[in-house]
Amino acid sequence: MVIGAFLGASVWRLFEPTFPSMGHSPAPYVIVGMMSCFGGISRAPLAVMLMVAEMTGSLSIITPAMVAVGISWLIVRRNDDTIYRSQLKSRADAPAQRLLVGLPLLAAIPTARAMVKPRLVITAALGTDAVKDALDHAGLNGVPVLDPAGRFAGTVARAALASKSERQRTVSDLVDAGAPIASASSRLDVALESLTEAPLSWVPVLDDDRRVVGTLSISDVVRAYRQELLARAERVSDLGATAGASQMTITADSPITNKTLRQAGLPKGLLITSITRGDQVFVPNGDTVLVEGDHLSVLGQPSDLEGIGQIDPLGTQSLQPHKRWPARHRE
C-alpha cells in the first residue's frame, strides 16, 4: 500500500507541472496507486474496486482505478506472486474442485437426499458440562447449536469444551458462529466445498429459514454417490440390447431452448448422460436449463432417438447402437 501510494504521488509530481489539468491535489493519484499495487499482488481486483469507493466516498475515480488495477493484475498474472501464501491460483485448484473432476455426478445429487438426521442438537443456554456428557454419550466430536428462536447459531467442538476456561460455563461462550454450513436446497458439488473447509468431519445442513434439518459427512456423500451410480446403471441396463446413442445440439430456434430438462418433453425412454457446454462437461439433472450451443449425449431406443429429430431436426446426429456385452463383462 505504501509503495503504491508513493508511486501514485510520483506520477502526479512528475506530470503536474506539464499538464495542469491533472489537478492540484495528489490524493486521487495516491489512492489509485495504492489500489493498483494492492489489487494486483493480492489477486483481488474486484474487492479493490469496492475499497476505492469506500475510501473516497465517491465513484468519480472508479474508472481510472479500474484501468490501473486491470493493468496491475495483468502484469502480476504472468507470475505466481501473491501476498497470501495459501491463496490458490484459480478455483480449479481447490480440493473440492479436484474431487468434482473425478466425481461428476455430485452436481446431480441434491444435498437433502444425502444428508442424515442430526443425532444431537443443543441450545446455547446449556452448560458446558452437560454438553460434554451428551457428546460422550453420543460419540460425537461436535454438535450444532441453536439460538432461542430455534435457528442455527453455530457449532461447538469437543476440543473447545475440553479447553474451556472458568469464565466459559455455557455453550454460548464457545460456539463457532462462522462454522461452514450446507444448504438443503443445494447440490452435493456445492456442499462439498463447505465440507472440505469444515474443521470437524461434518457440516450442518440448514433450510431456507436457517433451521438445522440434517448433517452431512464424507461417508454420506459416498453413500449417496454410490446409490446414484447404481440407479443410473440400472437405467442403462433397462434400455435393452438395441439401445443406441445420439448427439443432440440445442439451437437458437429449438423449442426446448431455455427450458429445464423436466420441461423439455423429451421421450421418457431417453437417458441424458452428459451435457457439453463450451469447455465444460457435466451430468445434468431435472432442473438443468438447456441453452443454445449445448451438446447433449443421449442413450435410448431407436424409436425414442428418432423422436429427437422431431424436436430438433437440425441439431441431431445419430450414432451406431452400442454393443450389448454379456452380464459377466458388463461391469
Helices and strands in the chain, H and E counts: 12, 11
Instruction: For residue 295, give the CATH number of its domain.
Output: 3.30.70.1450
Question: Residue 190's CB: how many other CB atoms inside 10 A?
Answer: 16
Task: Print pLDDT tens along the chain (331 aa).
Answer: 899 999 999 999 998 888 878 888 888 899 899 888 888 888 888 888 888 778 777 778 888 888 998 888 888 877 767 777 777 666 656 655 555 555 667 778 899 999 999 999 998 888 888 888 888 888 888 999 999 899 999 999 888 887 766 555 778 888 888 889 999 999 888 888 888 888 888 999 999 999 999 999 988 988 988 888 777 766 666 655 555 666 778 888 888 888 888 887 777 667 777 788 887 777 787 788 888 888 887 776 666 666 554 444 334 333 333 333 333 333 3
From 321, 320, 311, select the one nearest 250 (Cα to Cα).
311
Residue 90 belongs to some domain of the structure: no
Boundary (domain end) residue, out of 187, 222, 257? 222
In a shared domain, residues 216 and 277: no
Residues 204 and 140 in one domain: yes
For residues 108 and 217, membership in a common domain is answered with yes
Question: Do 105 and 217 belong to one domain?
Answer: yes
Of 181, 176, 197, nearest to 111 by C-alpha is 181
Identify whether residues 101 and 216 lie together within a single domain.
yes
Stretch (H or E) spanning 251: none
Cβ proximity of 203 and 195 under 8 Å: yes
The identity of residue 145, as a single letter, is V
Determine, yes or no, domain membership for 41.
yes
Q: Residue 62 is part of which domain span?
A: 2-77
- The reply to whether 212 falls in a domain is yes
How far, in Å, CA of 182 to CA of 135, rounded? Answer: 22
Statement to judge: residues 133 and 200 lie in one domain: yes
Amino acid residing at 301: Q
**Cα(181)–Cα(200) distance, integer angstroms:** 11
Widest distance between CA atoms in the chain: 86
Residue 82 domain flag: no
Specify the pTM.
Answer: 0.53
